[in-house]
Structures are given as structure tokens and as C-alpha cells.
Structure 1
Amino acid sequence: MSAKNTRQTKQKSLILATIRQAGGLLTADQILAAARKTLPKLALTTVYRNLEQLSNQRIITRLIHPDGVTRYRMTDELHNHDMICINCSKTLEISQCPLDCLTLQIEETTGFKITTHQLTFYGYCAECSELPGAK
């Protein structure tokens, strides 16, 4: 990776601060709207370029919701687990890792050192599961 991609610009710092302050998932458009309060001329292409770099550096995590819109959040140091409602796009984080035993088993049987992982369940949240048509 070139030094240009790891350079800390004021745009990148602001984008990162915006995601950190949100404490949850944000779309690129939401990040842009919040960041423009500080840098009014910030362009969406700049936001996307920085999101790509931060994601590649594993500083942020990208989640593609059922609506097709990508959302971003700070990366947990170990891993992320989520449940995403396919009706309303509500995202709930699973606090305990359901894969600890599997991760250990994979490492022991393959010698592969797992550094991080991500697991996403798609379905209906408690509210939407009560709606007609929810399976």
C-alpha cells in the first residue's frame, strides 16, 4: 500500500471521527452529511475513497444491508457479529461470540491462525416478525 493511502488527511480524520461518534452503522451519505457540517465542500467521492482505504486497513467494517446499501462502523478488535432485519434494516450486534469453539477447532485442525471474522444473520427483528408476511 502506498504512503498516499495511509496518509492522515483532515478529510480522513473527520470521516473516521464521524463514524466513531455515531457508535453505530452509517451510510456514506450519512457520513457525508455529518462531515459537511465541518467541511462543507467535502465530496462524496472523497468519502467513498477514504471509506475504501479505512476498510482495507480494517479500521472500519463494511456491512451490506438487505436493501443493498452499504453501511460502515468502527471495527471491533476481534470480530463482529450482527443480526440485520430484512424488512426495516435494523441492526443488532451480538455481544458474545457464537464462534469461539469453532474458531479454536479450525486453528487446531488446520494450523491456520484466525485474526478476525465477521458473521451476519439476516431475518426479521422482533417488531417485524409480528407483521403479516414475515416468515
Structure 2
Amino acid sequence: MRKLISSGSYLENPIGFSRACRIGGQIAISGTAPISEGKTAFIGDVYGQTKLCLDIAVAALKEAGGHLPDVIRTRIMLVDIKRWEDAARAHGELFSDIRPACTFVEVKGFIDFNWLVEIEMDAVVSES
């Protein structure tokens, strides 16, 4: 059974995506941007944007029936890799004990030039 999770992002319908999708025990969480109340939050603040992205992604994870220990991979995309430590600090505050596979990568840009980070997350939930 396929379960789709929406965050209410203004981009979901025109792009045709869901915040998260669960099939069986697998949950995939889409690239999550620092959007709050329809606009970019924490402009210029990699740490603040990363925390918000993680909060949004974790909310989708939970709505899909997952929990933090179910997360097996995160992907942190940054427009300036030199600022990776700010994003890593936010990630570590959440995942220091869980320690999923994690990748940091620099990208040329995002849909909104004020976004400094986007995060993807994958989880596997036990069916038992």
C-alpha cells in the first residue's frame, strides 16, 4: 500500500511530489527546504535552516509511521560546502546516537536562491 504525506508546501502540486512516500516499511522523504508559513526562513543562517529542514522531515517521518531510529540515510545538500559544519552541528544534535548513513554535497543552487540547504531522508520501519 502506498501512503503519501503532504507538508502543505506551495510547491507540491505544481511539481507533483509528496513530502514523503511510504510503501511497506520503506519511507522516502523528499528534498526538504527551509520553508515556514510559505516563505524562506532563517535567511543567511545554515544552522537555522538545517534545523528547520530536519524538523519538517521528522514530522513527515512520524506522520508516515516512522521514528528517528528508523532513519538509515540522510543527504545534506548545501550551496556552500565551506559551511558544512553549521549543518553538521544541527544534524548531530538529532542523530548523534542513531548515526544513519549521511552524505554532504555541494550543489549549484536551489529553486529559491535564499535556500542554503535541502535535506533528504530515508527510513525503514519494521513491519512486525
Q: TM-score of the superposition, structure 2-length normalised? A: 0.28
More helix by share: 1
Q: Greater relative contact order: 1 or 2 (C-alpha under 8 angstroms, separation 6 or more)?
A: 2
More strand by share: 2
Q: TM-score of the superposition, structure 1-length normalised? A: 0.27
